């Protein structure tokens, strides 16, 4: 099998499940409209002034690089250039750090007024910014200043892998010795859900020539890492994991703040891995292990499919007695794994997801971002813009 990168053919799994293609398109557009311009309790995007806007994490009442980069990806996939540029300008105006050890990165959290809540970055935001910017360049063409999208993406990725290399100031976002993305720059472990080898394949084509070989190796390293990070029976992964794939361990050298909450379990961050392997297989189809892992995850959660009632788990599947904070998001990512799965159950996930509405209320942001990614992917609309 060849992936969509080579064939330019994308699976519309909703159509394969029997849904009308016009209805699917209308529903996709309605989801975008709800998230960007719907009523309070539904929307997560807010335009600001004449030329800016932000995506808000409604559960934490802040703006995060995660959500801003997701919003930009939604917009480029939906051909919404105005909203894309608004989000990017807000990001560059308020989140970009132009001094200090994290110069060249983006503050991972800001207040709704743009005040930085932290001067630390989160690498998943940077990699999604870069991918969305490359797609924008390829779909709409480069503009001037911060809207010269390809230049912005190239410079950002260069900073991410070379930071501190010559002057010793700051830390890179990828561990240069093993090509694995870090949870945060100043740490020695990863977050498996940050691993998007399908992005790295494209970075290797479009970033600065001197950085391309790094991302060739990063794509391969990430696919191998995920095999270590996912449990051999359940397919589940920890939120944070060592470079050898094992769940994060507490050591005397690591600061206590990293362990105020548990992160060695299958919890909110973890959900995204199923979506990532589904999309990686759809785009590149380079590793049949992704099909096996997708099926393990879907088999593990199959009994919950009808009720959408999920717990928190050890990666071996042991329940921990704490309800999942984002059940719609978990359903969405499990459904997106159908892009890689080959068993019959995958269509049950597709149909259940299609008939599940967006989440409303305080905790809607994360669930509905994962929801829209899954809808784009399963409708054949999460595309590589070359």
pLDDT at 1: 80
CATH topology for the 4-378 domain? Glycosyltransferase (1.50.10)
Comparing CA positions, the residue from 53, 59, 111 lying closest to residue 80 is 53
pLDDT at 373: 99
Give 154: exposed, middle or buried? Use CB within 10 Å, 0-12, 13-18, 19+.
buried
pLDDT at 84: 99
Rounded Cα distance between 316 and 230, Å, is 9
Report whether pLDDT(258) > 90. Answer: no
Catalytic residue among 57, 66, 175, 191: 66
Q: Note if 210 is an active site residue.
A: no
Average pLDDT of the residues in 252-281? 95
Report whether pLDDT(162) > 90. Answer: yes
pLDDT, tens only, 200-247: 999 999 999 999 999 999 999 999 999 999 999 999 999 999 999 999
Report whether pLDDT(145) > 90. Answer: yes
Comparing CA positions, the residue from 194, 229, 69, 56 lying closest to residue 134 is 69
pLDDT, tens only, 294-305: 999 999 999 999
**Confidence category of residue 153, pLDDT binned at 50, 70, 90:** very high
| Three-class HEC string of 149-206 | HHHHHHHHHHHHHHCCCCCCCCCCCEECCCCEECCCCCCCCECHHHCCHHHHHHHHHH
Q: Is the pTM of this model over 0.95?
A: yes
Catalytic residue among 269, 280, 290, 295: 269
Q: Note if 261 is an active site residue.
A: no
Report whether pLDDT(186) > 90. Answer: yes
Rounded Cα distance between 30 and 273, Å, is 26
Instruction: List the structure tokens of 2.
Output: 């060849």
Average pLDDT of the residues in 277-300? 98
- The domain locations on the chain are 4-378
**Confidence category of residue 164, pLDDT binned at 50, 70, 90:** very high
Mean of per-residue pLDDT scores for the chain: 98
Report whether pLDDT(112) > 90. Answer: yes
pLDDT, tens only, 4-55: 999 999 999 999 999 999 999 999 999 999 999 999 999 999 999 999 999 9
């Amino acid at each position: 099998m060849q992936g969509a990168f080579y064939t330019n053919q994308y699976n519309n799994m909703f159509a394969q499940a029997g849904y009308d293609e016009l209805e699917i398109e209308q529903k996709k557009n309605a989801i975008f409209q709800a998230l960007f311009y719907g009523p309070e309790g539904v929307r997560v995007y807010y335009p600001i002034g004449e030329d800016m806007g932000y995506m808000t994490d409604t559960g934490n009442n802040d703006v995060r690089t995660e959500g801003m980069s997701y919003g930009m990806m939604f917009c480029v996939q939906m051909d919404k250039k105005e909203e894309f540029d608004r989000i990017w300008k807000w990001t560059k105006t308020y989140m970009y750090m132009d001094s200090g050890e994290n110069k060249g990165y983006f503050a991972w959290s800001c207040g709704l007024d743009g005040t930085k809540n932290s001067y630390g970055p989160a690498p998943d935001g940077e990699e999604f910014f870069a991918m969305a910017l490359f797609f924008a360049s390829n779909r709409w063409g480069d503009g001037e200043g911060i809207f010269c999208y390809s230049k912005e993406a190239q410079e950002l990725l260069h900073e991410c892998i070379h930071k501190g290399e010559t002057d010793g100031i700051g830390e890179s976002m990828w561990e240069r010795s093993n090509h694995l993305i870090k949870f945060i720059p100043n740490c020695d472990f990863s977050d498996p859900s940050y691993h998007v080898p399908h992005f790295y394949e494209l970075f290797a084509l479009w970033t600065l020539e001197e950085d391309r070989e790094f991302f060739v190796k990063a794509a391969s390293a990430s696919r191998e890492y995920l095999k270590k990070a996912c449990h051999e029976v359940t397919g589940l992964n920890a939120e944070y994991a060592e470079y050898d794939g094992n769940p994060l361990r507490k050591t005397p050298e690591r600061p206590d703040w990293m362990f105020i909450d548990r992160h060695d379990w299958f919890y909110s961050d973890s959900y995204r891995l199923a979506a990532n392997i589904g999309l990686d297989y759809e785009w590149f189809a380079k590793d049949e292990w992704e099909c096996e892992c997708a099926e393990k995850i879907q088999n593990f959660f199959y009994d919950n499919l009808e009720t959408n009632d999920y717990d928190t788990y050890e990666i071996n599947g042991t329940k921990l007695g704490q309800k999942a904070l984002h059940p719609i998001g978990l359903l969405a990512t499990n459904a997106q794994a159908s892009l890689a799965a080959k068993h019959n159950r995958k269509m049950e996930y597709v149909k259940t997801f299609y008939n599940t509405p967006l989440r409303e209320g305080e905790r809607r942001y994360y669930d509905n971002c994962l929801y829209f990614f899954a809808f784009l992917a399963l409708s054949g609309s999460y595309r590589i813009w070359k």
